[in-house]
Each structure stands twice: as C-alpha cells, then as structure tokens.
Amino acid sequence: MSKNVLVLAESKDGELRNVSFEVIAAGKKIAGEGSVKALLVGESVASFSEQLIQQGADEVLVAEHSDLKTYTTDAYKQVLLQVIESESPDALLIPHTSSGKDLAPRLAAKLSSGLVSDVVDIEEVGEEVIFTRPIYSGKAFEKKSVSSGLVFATVRPNNIAALEVDSSRSGETKEVSVDLKDLRTVIKDIVKKTSGKVDLAEAKVIVAGGRGVKSADGFKPLEELADILGGAVGASRGACDAEYCDYSLQIGQTGKVVTPELYIAVGISGAIQHLAGMSNSKVIVAINKDEEAPIFDVADYGLVGDLFDILPILTEEFKKVKAGA
C-alpha cells in the first residue's frame, strides 16, 4: 500500500499554477506510506520549492536550464525521462494542461506505458488505482486503471482539491542535472492574449456569452462582470462562429470543457454541443430572454429577460457584495 509518486509542477508568468498543488493532493491519495516528490522544470524555478512542500510535497526536484524557460516537447521530454530513470517512481501525475497534454502521451509511448488522460478523481481500491475521467466531453464518465507498470495519468485542473497550506512542513530540495540535446523546436515569439486574465481552465467563475450577445462590443459588459468576480470570459460556438470573440474562448464539445464553481451563461441557448462543455459546473446561472431555451434545463438559477438590462444591474450588485465582503 505504498507508492512513490512523482508529480510535475507547472508555473506560468512567474507563479506556480494552482494545478501544481492539485497534482500533489492527487499524489497523496495514492502514495499511502510512500512519498510524493514534485518536479519543478524551468529556467529559474527553485524559489517555488517551499510553496510545494507547504502544500504537501515530501521532496522537490528542481531541473533548471535556459532551454527550459518555455515548454518544448523535446526539452521537457528529456528532463522527465532523466528524472524517471533516476527516481523510478511507481506513479507519475502530470497536469492536464496545454503542455501536459503535449508531453504525457509522448512519455507514455517512449516508456511503452498506459496513460489515463484528463482525470477528475482518483481512488485506491486495494492495490489498484482507479481514475475517473469524463468522456464525450462530460456527457458520460469512465473509470480506468493502468493494467501494469507505471501508474500514469494527467489531472484536469480545478477538480481535485489542493491540500491546506501547512507552513510547518519541511522537506528536501534537490537539484537535478539536465542534459539537453537535439532540440527541434525554436520558439520565435509568444503573443500574449491572456495577460492578466484568469485562465479558463482554472477559473472559479466563468461568464460566458452566446449569440444573444449580438456583437464583439456586446461582450464588454460580460468582461466587466467577470473582472468584478475575478473570473474569466468564455463563449459558445455560435458566438465564436459569428466572430464576436476568439475561438480560444469557446466552451463546448469542440472547445474547452470547464468546471468552475459558478458559471453564468449569458444569451446562450444551450445546444447539446455547449452543455457538454459546462454542465458539470457546480452552480449554473442562465440569463436568456427565451423562456424555453434549453439552457434553463441545466441552470440552477434562471433569469428571463434582456441580458443588456440585467447585466449592468448584476454587475453593480456584485460590486456591492465584493465591497461589503
């Protein structure tokens, strides 16, 4: 009943992403008497070590190199393979993020290993680790296990709760020497479109707009509301197809699948395609002038009326709530 678990921490824009703490918590669920080691990869990331330990890591491994500043498949794969070789973990958990999705299947192929992707829950049944993951974009779920060898999974952000910060915890931080060669991808530029904005996948609150928003300008009141709530703006396929906003904001079976605590659907009718991407949100609020819109079938709270009347009032009221809190 004990496993040594290796988890990959992830940082972005000079901060650890919350999913780093969630993979540690996920690792704890299966480690038993074993340990959870967190791996930090980047150019200058050693300073994050203490935070990882306070959130439950027993030991932190740090792999630093100027070629690790931005994720590339080749460089990160080489680091992970070197660490797996030296640490021989029983289980490996990687965030199901843009880089994790790119990296994990490659590692699995190299190691001839099974991999369970996009895990939202983990349980240990006897010696076996059972992962729950959504299929058909959350219209259904499956429970899977890795048949033998390395227990390997990617963990969806925002689903497994991080542990409480415990500042009394201590643990070792170890530097890992990295040897990188034959890097085939050259990064020329990164165009930041999301600076200062909350990432959709990790957002606790999402305000999403559909065709009812009517124009790119129509998204402004949604952005304002999202800002007040510290949340992110999303969109339905209809709104993206109509070019009211970028496809990177699309939520649905094609697009992103999200599970925030609060989802506010504005002018979204609620096609199956869209519901697949958001129906597992904890609380859903729908604002639509069509009383019969299918979005009301999944909404916890429905407001029937013109969104352009309702949104400004809602934003003002939330402002008061936030000011008073």
Verify binding: residue 213, other proteins, rule CB under 8 A.
no
Pair 43, 65: CB distance under 8 Å = yes
Verify binding: residue 15, other proteins, rule CB under 8 A.
no
Q: 40-59: which residues touch other proteins (CB under 8 A)?
A: none
Interacting stretch for other proteins, rule CB under 8 A, among 39-47, 49-57, 170-178, 197-205?
A: 197-205
Among 11, 51, 73, 82, binds other proteins (CB under 8 A): 73
In Å, what is the CA distance from 223 to each residue of 197, 207, 209, 234?
10, 8, 10, 9
Among 164, 192, 292, 323, binds other proteins (CB under 8 A): 192
Q: Residue 166 and residue 317: Cα distance in Å, rounded?
A: 36
Verify binding: residue 18, other proteins, rule CB under 8 A.
no
In Å, what is the CA distance from 123 to each residue of 73, 90, 137, 143?
30, 16, 21, 10
Q: How far is the CB of 113 from other proteins (least distance, A)?
A: 6
Q: With CB under 8 A as the rule, give the number of residues binding other proteins.
A: 98
Residue 130's closest CA among 120, 144, 151?
144
Verify binding: residue 108, other proteins, rule CB under 8 A.
yes
The residues, any chain, with a CB within 8 Å of residue 217's CB and separated by 6 or more, are none
Interacting stretch for other proteins, rule CB under 8 A, among 21-29, 99-107, 169-177, 217-225?
A: 99-107
Pair 66, 178: CB distance under 8 Å = no
For the window 129-148, what string marks contact with other proteins as x by the rule CB under 8 A? -x--xxxxxxxxxxxxxxxx
Verify binding: residue 112, other proteins, rule CB under 8 A.
yes
How large is the angle between the packed helices 220-228 and 307-324, nearest 10 degrees? 20
Q: 235-294: which residues touch other proteins (CB under 8 A)?
A: 240, 246-250, 252-255, 257, 261-262, 271-273, 276, 279-280, 282-285, 291
Q: Residue 325 and residue 278: Cα distance in Å, rounded?
A: 28
Task: Please give the structure tokens belonging to residue 39.
Answer: 């791996």
Looking at the Cβ atoms of 12 and 169, the one nearer to other proteins is: 12
Pair 17, 10: CB distance under 8 Å = yes
